[in-house]
Structure 1
Amino acid sequence: MKNQPASASLTLLLGGLAAVPYSGIDINLPALSATAAALRVGPSNVGLTISAFMLSLALAPLIYGPVSDRVGRKPTLVFGLTLFVAASLACACSQSLKMLLAFRFFQGAGAACTTLTFAIARDLFDEMTARAKIANIVIAINVVTVIAPSAGAAVLAIGDWRLIYVVQASAGVVLLAIVVVGFSESAKLCHGSELLPSAIIRDYIRFATDRVSVVFTLVGAAGGATVFAYVTGSSLFFVGVVGVVGLRPGQYAIIFSACSAAVMCGAIIDGRLGRWGALPAKTMTVGLGLLFASSSAMLALTLAGFSSTAAFATLLMIVALAFGISLPNIINATMQSLPDIAGTVGAAAGSIQMICGSGASSLVAVFFDGRSALSMVAVMAISSLLALSLYLMAPIPAPPRLP
């Protein structure tokens, strides 16, 4: 495999790698009850396996990023994917909840190496090409988000919950083989760099003192918090508000899938705009403005006592579309000014964004009143306003367009 901008195989590999963490969450959702019954614990306790996976997914990149800047993306990916495969098989063999929680943590730590895909895109391509590649990665992630729960249900229909982990391990083996055999190192390694704690700390200090990277990290975190809020709150509202909305799970799944498809459409639109010469700054302004406008419209409708399913579903899809338009540009801009430590920057940004997203999700759940979408739309409106304000008010220029 040659690391060329026109290589479809490279695009597929990056998309497949980036989708691993999301598949590790979504494919297991249909099997939570079956897992609880097999391990003789409550379903809510098995839900902690998702938390364990996401915790390591937030923390592990902080190690992978600076390591990959020094030893390379390829060996880091090989280590992480090997850990993912081993931990997935260990999950399949777990005989207790404690064992499953421990192995799910290590599974997430292995999957976290795939967050390097955005750094790889920045390694290989100029700004405009990287923007298109990142858009394709976002599309791949959302394809998995749409099909993973159904895939998990299909696997559960022919086997038990352990088979789902075997399937994940098998997918990891395929990706590992492709990386080992066909992927060329993308990072421009500095042979004088040392893998020492002091050197890693210096890299994180460089990130923390670079205004461009920090501002776009916070813009991405606020935008991501908007989406995490609707992921959590939409289920509570559409399914949980009985007598007002009270959709069946299958009906809600259609809405959720439509939102994932809207993110994909947004990323496709951004890719087209890039090829037509649209500046990233203008695209981000439009995307973040649309994100705030649609979130605010939902808040206004809620405060007015209006709870139309069709109206809320439509506005949620607009939110998802706006996020899809904005996200590739935000990711690209975050690493723009520090390309030599793109792994470190991407790791720090990803961890911050996941922590903020988890916080937004928790706020929605804690303040849900059981009668309306107020907690969801309030968090969405505040988060989207913060994202737009940070972008518009930042005393820094947008990343330049290369000729």
Structure 2
Amino acid sequence: MPSRSFLRMALILGLISAIGPFAIDMYLPALPEIGRALNAPVGAVQMSLTAFFIAIGVGQLLYGPVSDMVGRKPPLYFGLGLFALASVGCALASQIETLVALRFLQGLGAAAGMAIPRAVVRDLHTGTDAARLMSLLMLVFSVSPILAPLAGSAVIALSGWRAVFWAVGLAALAGLAMVYATLAETRTREQRLESSLGSALRAYGVLLRDAHYLGLVGIGSAALAGFFVFLAGSPFVLINHYGLTPTQYSLAFSVNAVAFIGASQFTSHLGRRFGLVPMVKVASTASAAFNALLLGYYLFGGDQLPVLIALNFIASAFMGLVIPTVSVLALEKHGPIAGTASALMGTLQMLVGAVAMGVVGAFANGAPLPMVAGMAAGSLTSFALMGLTLRARRRNRRPAPT
């Protein structure tokens, strides 16, 4: 695929993928305000975030096989339409329980944009070419944590937190138009003939028995869980504990996205030079080390915001090498069921993240330590799974018969 086509496809897929995360990142600065407006405690407000993640996870289990059976575009139409309608409901919600329920529906819609673009990447490429396209997709996708909190702060300042949901609803409608006008179908009719409900169930069985696939998915899921813990806890820690304004919070939050974006663009180059697996090993180890260092700092009484931002910046950069690479490796041997494999991967990532947020949220008190402990636990678990998965792969290799 020519370089221009790579960039065009990455832009299309990245923007589709970013619509759901925009609905997360754009309203993060408003979480304390939502709690005050709806008279809801911290845990209940965080549940609106957790419900969104659970829905994204569950929804991908459906969209993946359906996209294998009917093509990639029809499920995108349905998902983006549902997302837009639920966004309108969120904008009109007057109780926290209603908001949580509508956020769940919104997440079900967003799941289409999370599962299907990865399957499209696998439809088109494997190996380092897939890593290159995936990293470019991540470049566009990762703009969300930079721009969305800033855009959210501006929207909230001008029109209040409800306007955030009107904005993301309009973004979903724009996504629908873009899918219709610019995205070509990558799942051919001949390929769809091989897919059915029965084949989808068999495909899930194959994937759940593939220890190497599950190990790779686990590496990325645990790493993302640490990020999700930061995502859920950072508004309360940075705004309430450290006293940042919503705009200052948005800038601080964006620093991690810059690290992730910058590092992810080196995946293809480093993969070609050193191999994808060695790169994952080094990056996972480094990310775990810096998160452990951050945890030690807070356990021994440290409480400086610049230290939190700096160490998390470095850990996020290494995570930017891990996540797109393990996604490519996990899908590489499952091309005929790429939609299903992508869906299961996305589901596990979101559900692990939701569980991590729920566990850490139970201990949340507005101080940094519970959040930092959750971030470190995710990174260290990812490191442990990396060791088990990639070492197991080495052991399973047998010398060729002579």
The reply on whether 1:389 has 2:384 as its aligned counterpart is yes
- The letter of the residue matching 1:380 is M
Deviation string, structure 1 residues 263-289 (Cα, Å, up to 9, x no partner): 111112324434x53311121112101
Higher percent of residues as helix: 2
2-side partners of 1:377 and 1:103: how far apart? Answer: 29
- Aligned partner of 2:211 in structure 1 is 211
The reply on whether 1:20 has 2:12 as its aligned counterpart is no
Q: Per the alignment, do residues 159 and 131 of structure 1 end up closer, same or farther by CA in structure 2, a change over 3 Å counting?
A: same
Provide the secondary structure at the position in 1 that maps to 2:191. coil
- How many residues are aligned here? 389
1-side partners of 2:117 and 2:310: how far apart? Answer: 32
- Aligned partner of 1:165 in structure 2 is 165
- The letter of the residue matching 1:379 is G
1-side partners of 2:168 and 2:364: how far apart? Answer: 34
Provide the secondary structure at the position in 2 that maps to 1:258. helix
- Aligned partner of 1:347 in structure 2 is 343
Aligned-residue Cα RMSD (Å) equals 2.9
Segment of structure 1 superposing worse, 230-239 or 254-263: 230-239
- Aligned partner of 1:131 in structure 2 is 131
- The letter of the residue matching 1:168 is V
Q: Which runs of 5+ in 2 are unaligned?
A: 398-402
Q: Per the alignment, do residues 102 and 390 of structure 1 end up closer, same or farther by CA in structure 2, a change over 3 Å counting?
A: closer
Please say if residues 32 and 235 of structure 2, whose CA atoms lie closer than 8 Å, have aligned partners that are also in contact: no
Please say if residues 80 and 110 of structure 1, whose CA atoms lie closer than 8 Å, have aligned partners that are also in contact: yes
Deviation string, structure 1 residues 177-206 (Cα, Å, up to 9, x no partner): 12112211112553433532x332211101
The reply on whether 1:227 has 2:227 as its aligned counterpart is yes
- Aligned partner of 2:255 in structure 1 is 258
2-side partners of 1:35 and 1:142: how far apart? Answer: 25
Segment of structure 1 superposing worse, 4-13 or 136-145: 4-13
Provide the secondary structure at the position in 2 that maps to 1:60. helix
- Aligned partner of 2:354 in structure 1 is 358
- Aligned partner of 2:66 in structure 1 is 67
Segment of structure 1 superposing worse, 105-114 or 247-256: 247-256
Please say if residues 142 and 257 of structure 2, whose CA atoms lie closer than 8 Å, have aligned partners that are also in contact: yes
- Aligned partner of 1:117 in structure 2 is 117
- Aligned partner of 2:196 in structure 1 is 195
Please say if residues 124 and 186 of structure 2, whose CA atoms lie closer than 8 Å, have aligned partners that are also in contact: yes
Segment of structure 1 superposing worse, 158-167 or 143-152: 158-167
- The letter of the residue matching 1:143 is V
2-side partners of 1:9 and 1:194: how far apart? Answer: 29
Q: Per the alignment, do residues 33 and 130 of structure 1 end up closer, same or farther by CA in structure 2, a change over 3 Å counting?
A: same
Segment of structure 1 superposing worse, 162-171 or 246-255: 246-255
Segment of structure 1 superposing worse, 359-368 or 79-88: 359-368
Q: Which runs of 5+ in 1 are unaligned?
A: none
Please say if residues 50 and 358 of structure 2, whose CA atoms lie closer than 8 Å, have aligned partners that are also in contact: no
- The letter of the residue matching 2:141 is I
2-side partners of 1:202 and 1:253: how far apart? Answer: 44
Q: Per the alignment, do residues 33 and 231 of structure 1 end up closer, same or farther by CA in structure 2, a change over 3 Å counting?
A: closer
2-side partners of 1:222 and 1:11: how far apart? Answer: 25
Identity of aligned residues (%): 29
The reply on whether 1:330 has 2:313 as its aligned counterpart is no
Normalised by the size of structure 1, how large is the TM-score? 0.85
- The letter of the residue matching 2:305 is T
1-side partners of 2:249 and 2:15: how far apart? Answer: 27
- The letter of the residue matching 1:21 is G
2-side partners of 1:348 and 1:306: how far apart? Answer: 39
- Aligned partner of 2:375 in structure 1 is 380
